[in-house]
Amino acid sequence: MSTRRGIISILIGAFTSLIGTAFQFILMYLLIRSYGSQLNGFVKNSIAIVSFLGTVEGGLGAITVIFLMKPLLQKDWIKANEMVNTAKHQYKISGIVGAILLAAIAIGYSTYIFLFENNFNISWNNQTISYPLWKMVLIIVIIGSKNLIALFWTACYENLMQADQNNHMRRLILMICDLISYSVIFYLISRTVDPIFVFLIFLGYSIMKGSLIYVFVKFHYPWIRIVRQKDNMQLVKSSNIVVLKNIGETLLINGDVIITALLLGLRVSSTLSLYMTITVGVRSIMMILINSFREFFAAWTAKNGRIDWNSYIKFETYAFMIGGFLFVNQFILSPYFVTTLYAPQILDQINSATAFNTWTPQEIAIFKNIFYQPTFSLLVALSSVFIVLAEPANVLVYAKANYKQTAIPTFVIGVINIVLCFFTALIFRFLVNDLSAALYGILIITCFISFLRFLYLWFYNWLFLTYNSNFKGVFRNWMILLVPIVIAILVNYLFLTKAYNPMGIYNDNLQPIWGWQKLLNMFFGLIFASLFVIIGNSILWAPGSVRGIFLRLPIIHKIWTKRQDKMRKIRQKKYEDDFITLTEPEMPYQKLWEREEALHQNTKKISEDEPPKEIYKLKGS
């Protein structure tokens, strides 16, 4: 995988995640405005819960990519076809299991909300109506089917594109489908149609994405033959092992949202989802900047074996710089974003006499903590940072195919997180009756378990996945991360929350006090200031690594390459003389023959010019 291809994949992936995050912002805004916060909470919770369906394929996607690497490098189309056919058959089995689980989740969660959530209503055409149970079930089925359809059709082809370093084309197709489908969804919401018809567009998204991927693969990989055959059991067994790892990571990343949805109510989970959309979107972009190197490291290790520690620590330096940038901007900017976009809608429902249900004081307190207090943002940002910092080691686990050794520990860590979060929320929700304490307890536990997962993966990587491992570069990487974090915490608590508190964005009448110019100035000012601090601090601690990172950026790399070519030509011209040339002539031996001939003629001429030599003969007596 070339550097240029890797950079293109990163840029397309980051831009796709950025577009997807923007669409999520708009979707939640329109859902709250057109249908109320309860439906928004129900939809966001449903998305988080059905995310577990991603584990039904048992890690088949990641393993298929790894198993396809070698035959593609060796152009062994027979072996590659065997892997693709095995993956397709296993995906169909996973799709059937996923469909059964989706039906169970849809019926179970919808019934739970319908029975235990008082008066589940939506706003529709300026009227408050009770939404029927069967429509709630259907919405969850449609949301879950968005990615489930791919298991029956094109999932194996997507793995092939990833293994062949064509992941940028896959992401480009996803971005096109997102643009089209979300445009239609926004139009339908603006027309306030029944939510069922809004989410039916997700089915069209699956069909459109599958068709584009199928066409690309058929033209780009003409050697593919889908036939009935015996499955490659090594691939099947490996994918079954990875399912534990995937479940553990899902329990860790989505556990807080799921526990909140089950125990703290739709309003709290809806309010949390508004903030978490920003968090998940920014975190996804940062993770793409790291895990886009998966295929590169997989191909590299397949060819060269283990990676040297000095090479890996540079990759980790890059990840720590990204982690610092993520923390600073998520910690400081998220409250301003969520307040600007959603505070008027929530406050209008709280203050309105025609609101569906009265917000309790505890729910209002949680709303203020999420939107206005930096402590909530601090805990969420720290959790995101530890998840991102674990990615370099996770990438190497993926590249070296050591998923079997890390699956059970990762699963155990995820289970510990969900159990601790569940009992903490249960105690504070029903025994102490303090929703804010329950929410903060969930966040603190998630933050601690995320750090624990990072430590486990880091030490596993240090012991087993790199050679010549030492602690060189570890201290400097932590300084690259901690210095921006400390500066951001001090600036936010001591200055920004006092001089520019998010509560001042709107007045009591929900009219904006801050203009968009002030918000944009703060947004871009903080981004550039954080970049300046992080880059300057990184250069102070690791100048060589930072120089290497920047020289790999597309435009800078192109300029640097041209400069190197120019300098080489200057050196070539400087040291060129009559007998030595640094450029290979059209006929390599022509100069040699001419020099040999000139030397022979000179020797002959010198011999002719010499005086005749006298010959003396010794005679014996």
DSSP 218: H
From the DSSP assignment, how many helices (H) and strands (E) are in the chain? 24, 4
Residue 321 to residue 328: CA distance in whole angstroms: 11
pLDDT for 608? 57
Position 65: which residue type? Answer: V
Greater model confidence, 4 or 144 = 144
Residue 620 binned pLDDT confidence (cut-offs 50, 70, 90): low
Across the range 575-588, mean pLDDT stands at 50
Three-state DSSP class for 614?
coil
Residue 1 binned pLDDT confidence (cut-offs 50, 70, 90): very low
pLDDT at 314 over 50: yes
pLDDT digit string, tens, across residues 151-162 = 777 888 888 888
pLDDT for 482? 94
pLDDT at 195 over 80: yes
pLDDT for 44? 78
pLDDT for 98? 81
Q: For residue 389, which of 479, 311, 481, 468 has the smallest C-alpha distance?
A: 481
Q: For residue 445, which of 190, 271, 252 has the smallest C-alpha distance?
A: 252
Q: For residue 154, which of 61, 247, 81 has the smallest C-alpha distance?
A: 61
pLDDT for 49? 76
Residue 591 binned pLDDT confidence (cut-offs 50, 70, 90): low
- With contact defined as beta carbons under 8 Å apart, do 329 and 485 qualify? no
Residue 533 binned pLDDT confidence (cut-offs 50, 70, 90): very high
Residue with tokens 């993956």: 87
| Buried b / exposed e along 525-560 (16+ C-beta atoms within 10 A) | ebeeebeebbeebbeebbeebbeebeeeeeeeeeee
**Percent of the chain beyond pLDDT 70?**
81
Q: What one-character-per-residue DSSP string does 316-335 give?
A: HHHHHHHHHHHHHHHHHHHH
> Following CA atoms 345, 346, 351, 355 in sequence, which dihedral angle do they give, to the nearest 10 degrees?
90
Across the range 421-438, mean pLDDT stands at 89
Task: Name 40's Cβ contacts closer than 8 Å, sequence gap at least 6.
Answer: 28, 31, 32, 270, 273, 274
Kindly report which listed range (53-57, 110-114, 463-467) carries the lowest average pLDDT score: 53-57
Q: For residue 599, which of 619, 579, 572, 576 has the smallest C-alpha distance?
A: 579
pLDDT digit string, tens, across residues 250-262 = 788 877 877 887 7
| Buried b / exposed e along 460-498 (16+ C-beta atoms within 10 A) | bbbebbbeebeeebeebbebbbebbbebbbebbeeebbe
| Buried b / exposed e along 311-348 (16+ C-beta atoms within 10 A) | ebbbbbbbbbbbbbbbbbbbbbbbbbbbbbbbbbbbbe
Position 339: which residue type? Answer: T
Residue with tokens 């880091």: 458
- With contact defined as beta carbons under 8 Å apart, do 537 and 479 qualify? yes
pLDDT for 553? 59
Tally of CB atoms within 10 A around 97: 14
Q: What one-character-per-residue DSSP string does 584-602 give?
A: --SSTTHHHHHHHHHHHHH
Highest mean pLDDT among 61-65, 334-338, 339-343: 334-338
pLDDT for 576? 54
Three-state DSSP class for 127?
strand
Across the range 280-304, mean pLDDT stands at 70
pLDDT for 194? 83
What count of Cα atoms within 13 Å lies in the side-chain half-sphere of residue 325?
Answer: 21
- The structure tokens listed for 455 are 């430590």
pLDDT for 294? 62
- With contact defined as beta carbons under 8 Å apart, do 52 and 250 qualify? yes
Across the range 484-510, mean pLDDT stands at 85
Q: For residue 273, which of 53, 20, 32, 441 has the smallest C-alpha distance?
A: 32
Task: Name 251's Cβ contacts closer than 8 Å, sequence gap at least 6.
Answer: 414, 415, 417, 418
Q: For residue 484, which of 412, 432, 443, 541 has the smallest C-alpha distance?
A: 541
Highest mean pLDDT among 189-198, 456-465, 513-522: 456-465
Greater model confidence, 586 or 223 = 223
Three-state DSSP class for 122?
strand
Greater model confidence, 608 or 584 = 608
Residue 157: which H helix or E strand, with range? helix 155-163
pLDDT at 615 over 60: no
Q: What one-character-per-residue DSSP string does 483-529 give?
A: HHHHHHHHHIIIIIHHHS-GGGGB-TTS-BSS-HHHHHHHHHHHHHH
pLDDT for 579? 45
The length of the chain is 621
- With contact defined as beta carbons under 8 Å apart, do 38 and 83 qualify? no
- The structure tokens listed for 75 are 């152009």
Residue 130: which H helix or E strand, with range? strand 127-130
Greater model confidence, 515 or 223 = 223
Residue 308 to residue 149: CA distance in whole angstroms: 41
Three-state DSSP class for 466?
strand
Kindly report which listed range (57-61, 87-91, 359-363, 583-587) carries the lowest average pLDDT score: 583-587
pLDDT digit string, tens, across residues 366-420 = 888 888 888 999 999 999 999 989 888 887 887 776 777 888 898 899 999 999 9
- 3-class SS shares of the chain: helix, strand, coil, % to 5: 80, 0, 15
Residue 523 to residue 341: CA distance in whole angstroms: 14
Q: Is 179 exposed, middle or buried (0-12, 13-18, 19+ CB in 10 A)?
A: exposed
pLDDT for 578? 45
Across the range 463-489, mean pLDDT stands at 89
Kindly report which listed range (227-241, 335-349, 420-434) carries the lowest average pLDDT score: 227-241
Across the range 461-489, mean pLDDT stands at 89
pLDDT for 582? 47
The C-alpha R_g of the chain, in whole angstroms, comes to: 31
Greater model confidence, 465 or 412 = 412
Which residue(s) pair with 506 in the sheet?
512
pTM: 0.75
Q: What's the chain's average pLDDT?
A: 79
- With contact defined as beta carbons under 8 Å apart, do 248 and 410 qualify? yes
Across the range 329-353, mean pLDDT stands at 80
pLDDT for 79? 85
Residue 170 binned pLDDT confidence (cut-offs 50, 70, 90): confident
DSSP 432: S
pLDDT for 588? 52
Q: For residue 55, which of 105, 5, 13 has the smallest C-alpha distance?
A: 105
The full 3-state SS of 37-101, as one line of letters, equals HHHHHHHHHHHHHHHHHHHCCCCHHHHHHHHHHHHHHCCCHHHHHHHHHHHHHHHHHHHHHHHHH
pLDDT for 485? 94
Greater model confidence, 491 or 113 = 491
pLDDT for 206? 83
